[in-house]
Chains A and B, each alone.
Chain A
């Protein structure tokens, strides 16, 4: 059982470049989340989705976009990378509600230079 898979694991971007962080889960979970974790800091919610076709902003959505065309996939798009987006990004999913156990991917370490 693969769980939540994130790709890539590491990436270096130049300022102004764009990229998509991929997240896929094979547990048929409705809820999916994107978080960023800055050094020495906690998790901040970027975007979340309660099901295919439905997304909503979290605490820090500026500079990011998401889509949820299928239950399995929840990609995060950075359009114009900035140094402030240097962080570790985690994708997570949960089954019936946010009150259920969440499963996390291994994270993507992004550096913008």
Chain B
């Protein structure tokens, strides 16, 4: 079935460092791909999405490109801030599935 695999955490970075969180997927059909973020004690909220191959989603300095050839949707940010500390989830939905499927989440801790 459809699935999402993302890199294990935690990821610990210093402020202004470059961030990459890897995400790969397996899917039948052509799902939309998402990154959701969960701040401590809160529910998930959408960070960015891409709906088809080669689309780039972006928001708040974060970017991810839908790569069909490598089945990937890696999250990047050029300069992280302490306020970016959170758990980041890669997800897929739509296409041939009625489900919204999440990866295991990656904890990001940014130190001043």
In Å, the complex CA distance between A50 and B97 comes to 11
Within 8 A of B (CB), among A11-56: 31, 33, 35, 41-43, 45, 48, 50, 56
Residue from the set A45, A48, A97 with the largest chain B CB neighbour count within 10 Å: A97
Chain B residues with Cβ under 8 A from A92's Cβ? 44, 100
Q: For the complex, is B51 an interface residue (Cβ under 8 Å from A)?
A: yes
How many residues on the B side are at the interface (Cβ–Cβ under 8 A)? 24
Contact across chains for A42 and B93 when beta carbons are under 8 A apart: no
Q: Does A112 contact B (CB under 8 A)?
A: no
Query: Are the C-beta atoms of B95 and A99 separated by less than 8 Å?
Result: yes
Stretch at the interface among B14-22, B62-70, B73-81, B102-110: B102-110
Q: Interface of chain A, helix or strand or loop or mixed?
A: strand
On chain A, the number of residues with a Cβ less than 8 Å from chain B's Cβ atoms is 25
| B32 touches A (CB below 8 Å) | yes
In the complex, A100 has a CB within 8 A of chain B: yes
Known: A41-B104, A100-B93. 16 other contacts (CB 8 A): A31-B98, A31-B100, A33-B99, A42-B104, A43-B89, A48-B98, A48-B100, A90-B43, A90-B44, A97-B93, A97-B94, A98-B32, A99-B94, A99-B95, A100-B32, A105-B43
